[in-house]
Amino acid sequence: MKTEAIAVEKFLTESPEKLVVDVRSPIEFQKGHMPGALNIPLFEDLERAEIGTLYKAKGREDAIMRGLEIVSPKLTEFITKTKKNTGKKGVLVYCFRGGMRSNSFGWLLNTAGLKAVIMEGGYKAYRKHVLKKFEEDYRLILLGGATGSGKTEILKQLKNEIPVIDLEGLANHKGSAFGGIGQPAQLPQQQFEHNLFNELCKIDPSGKLLIEDESMSIGYNKIPYPFWLQMKQAVIIKIILPFDLRVNRLVNEYGKEDVEKLKQSVKNISQQLGPNNAKDCLQWLDEGKLADVAAVTLRYYDKAYEYNHTKNKEQEIICVETDTADPIINAEKVKRIFTEYGKH
């Protein structure tokens, strides 16, 4: 019952034109999967656990027989769901190791007239391939600047003009104690890595790439270590925006958010702010004095930002002073430096 298997590289090359089906259990899929994959689990979470327990207690044959018992009533549903989503594109299937689950599902689809192939080595091989990508050499240029400088807006302005990856956008987090407010829930770490891998695959590896200057952790997502090490060696284009404009930007950005969430974020960094500053910020939030809160928190983040840069004196920093928060104007200044850097 062997189904044709192809290497992960070919699987990925063909995936944009075909339906990708992940036949692992929902809990495995949720932890991490190929972006765009459709989950049609051969076994639900409890069913997979039952078979695993049976395999350990009574052996392979008993586990296989119980698996067949569970799967048999679902066969028509598997074919119907696949046909509904595939059209005439063909189907690519993977499980965890490229073993019995994907082989069985692929055999079923081929029997039903749907041309299906599986990933050699399965999700495990895919993960290895993803992690290897972060070890490649990239020509990174970082967009830096103190909190409130509008770096994300600049990246958004430039994304259709130069190679850009928005790490905070991939992480659904803006990086500070307030960074999760107003954002979708963060994805599991493996899924964050897969989404970053997908973005890197779109980039010409011989060309320059602009990303935001980040710490290793963005919320609870972490930038893959080999990639982050390269970031720490990259040149930084540092936006220098006047303090009052940064305060105004933060007020506009967070002014409509839930006050209780803002209070919780203040409490999360109360030790760093100092007890008196934290107490004042909580009171000002009740009074609607958002500019005062922004000013106090900015001073804390400014100190942290400068401290991080003084620790790493090897990085070249190109300062870009601006007197406007207009992302279009500031993006043009950044683009000019990005384009010219490294030509001479």
For 73-85, the DSSP string reads GGHHHHHHHHHHH
For the entire predicted model, the pTM comes to 0.91
Q: Which ranges of 172-255 does DSSP label H, i.e. alpha helix?
A: 189-201, 225-231, 243-254
Q: Residue 158: which pLDDT band, with cuts at 50, 70 and 90?
A: very high
Give the pLDDT confidence score for residue 248 in this predicted structure: 95
Tell me which range, 55-69, 126-140, 254-268, 330-344, is most confidently predicted by mean pLDDT: 126-140
Q: Which domains does the chain have, with CATH numbers?
A: 5-131 (3.40.250.10), 134-340 (3.40.50)
Give the pLDDT confidence score for residue 176 in this predicted structure: 80
More confident residue, 191 or 257: 191
Look at residues 236, 240, 245, 238 and name the one whose alpha carbon lies nearest to residue 321: 240
Mean pLDDT value across the chain: 92
The burial class, CB within 10 Å (0-12 / 13-18 / 19+), for 25 is buried
Give the pLDDT confidence score for residue 149 in this predicted structure: 94
Tell me which DSSP letter residue 146 carries. Answer: S
Please report which helix (H) or strand (E) contains residue 284, including its range.
helix 275-287
Is the confidence at residue 344, as pLDDT, over 60? no
CA pair distance 82, 220, nearest whole angstrom: 35
Q: Residue 311: which pLDDT band, with cuts at 50, 70 and 90?
A: low
Is the confidence at residue 98, as pLDDT, over 90? yes
Instruction: Kindly report, residue by residue over 226-241, the tens digit of the pLDDT.
Output: 999 999 999 999 999 9
Instruction: Kindly report, residue by residue over 36-71, the tens digit of the pLDDT.
Output: 999 999 999 898 888 888 888 888 888 888 878 888
Using CA atoms, how far residue 38 sits from 28, 46, 129, 198, in Å, is 13, 20, 20, 17
- List the catalytic residue out of 95, 201, 281, 319: 95
Least confident of 87-96, 210-219, 281-290, 301-310: 301-310
Least confident of 92-96, 290-294, 311-315: 311-315
Least confident of 68-82, 303-317, 325-339: 303-317
Tokens 């495990």, residue located: 124
Residue 319 known to be catalytic: no
What whole-number percentage of the chain has pLDDT above 70? 97
Instruction: Kindly report, residue by residue over 13-44, the tens digit of the pLDDT.
Output: 999 999 999 999 999 999 999 999 999 999 99
Q: Residue 203: which pLDDT band, with cuts at 50, 70 and 90?
A: very high
Is the confidence at residue 313, as pLDDT, over 80? no
Q: Residue 88: which pLDDT band, with cuts at 50, 70 and 90?
A: low
Instruction: Kindly report, residue by residue over 103-142, the tens digit of the pLDDT.
Output: 999 999 999 999 999 999 999 999 999 999 999 999 999 9
Look at residues 137, 225, 218, 140 and name the one whose alpha carbon lies nearest to residue 183: 218
Phi, psi of 22 (to 5 degrees): -100, 115
More confident residue, 321 or 177: 321
Token digits of residue 304: 């942290």
Token digits of residue 187: 């994805």
